Amino acid sequence: MPGPYDELEKEAENLEKQSKDEFKNKNFVSAISLLEEAQEIYSTLGFQGKIRMINQRIAQLKNLVKYETQDTVVRTKGEEIFQQRVDKVLKEKEMYVDKKLSEQKALPPEMKRKLEQIGLLVEKADKEEKVGKYSRVLGRYEYILEIYKSFPKDVINFSNEIYEIEKKMSTLRSKQ
C-alpha cells in the first residue's frame, strides 16, 4: 500500500519530467520553476542526493538563461552598429547623388545633353562587353573620355570618372 511519501515522490518526479519538457520547448524560466518545486518536495522527503542533483540542473539552466539573454544583447548591439554604418553609407550616397543632380541642373543644356550621351554610351559599352566586343567597348570609352575632358574643370570636375574609365580601359586592353 503506497504511503503519503510515495505520492510526494511521484509528484516530484512528475515535476522533473515537466521541467524536461519545458526545457525541450526552450521555456527555461518555467523549467527552473518546476525544478524548484520538485526540490522543495525532495527536501520535505529528505532526499539529499536528489536535492543536489536538482540544484546542479537549476544552476545550469540559470547559466543558460544568462547566456541566452547576453547573446541576444550582443547580437542586437552588433546589428545596431552594422545598421548605423549602413545608414551612414546610404546618407553619403544620397548626398553624392544630390550633389551630382544639383551640378547637372546648373549646367547649360549642351552639357546636359553630353552627360545623357555619356550615360547611353556606358550602357552600350556594358552590353558589348558582356558579348565580348572589347575593341568596340574601348572605342566607346575613348569617346566618353573625350567628352569628359571637354567639360571645363571649374564648372564641373569629372576627374574621378575619368580615372575610373581609364582603369576600366586598361583592364579591357588586357582582355584583348
For residues 91 and 25, membership in a common domain is answered with yes
For residues 77 and 118, membership in a common domain is answered with no
Helix axes 134-150, 109-131, angle to 10 degrees: 160
- At 18 the pLDDT is 93
Q: What is the pLDDT of residues 53-62, one digit of tens each?
A: 999 998 998 8
Mean pLDDT value across the chain:
84
Per the document, the length of the chain is 176
- At 36 the pLDDT is 92
For residues 94 and 168, membership in a common domain is answered with no
For residues 99 and 118, membership in a common domain is answered with no
- What value, to the nearest 5°, has the Cα angle with vertex 99 and ends 116 and 124? 25
Q: C-alpha grid cell for residue 65?
A: 538563461
**CA R_g for the chain:** 36
Pairwise CA distance, residues 15 & 21, whole Å: 10
Ranking 35-39, 42-46, 62-66, 106-110 by mean pLDDT, the lowest is 106-110
Of the residues 104, 122, 147, which one is the last residue of a structural domain?
Answer: 104
Residue 96: which CATH number?
1.20.58
For residues 141 and 90, membership in a common domain is answered with no
- At 143 the pLDDT is 93
pLDDT of 47 higher than 60: yes
Of the residues 80, 104, 128, which one is the last residue of a structural domain?
Answer: 104
| Residue 98 domain boundaries | 1-104
Highest average pLDDT, of 48-52, 64-68, 101-105, comes from 48-52
Q: What is the percent of the chain where pLDDT is above 90?
A: 16
pTM over 0.75: no
How many CA atoms within 13 Å lie on the side-chain side of 35? 24
For residues 116 and 50, membership in a common domain is answered with no
Cβ 104 vs Cβ 112: under 8 Å: yes
Cβ 37 vs Cβ 18: under 8 Å: no
Q: How far is CA 60 from the centre of its chain?
A: 31
- At 86 the pLDDT is 85
For residues 70 and 81, membership in a common domain is answered with yes
Query: In total, how many domains does the chain have?
Result: 2
For residues 8 and 79, membership in a common domain is answered with yes
Of the residues 89, 104, 119, which one is the last residue of a structural domain?
Answer: 104
Q: What is the pLDDT of residues 121-148, one digit of tens each?
A: 999 998 988 888 888 989 999 999 998 8
Contacts of 149-158 spanning 24+ positions with Cβ under 8 A: 150/114, 151/111, 151/114, 155/107, 155/111, 156/103, 156/107, 156/111
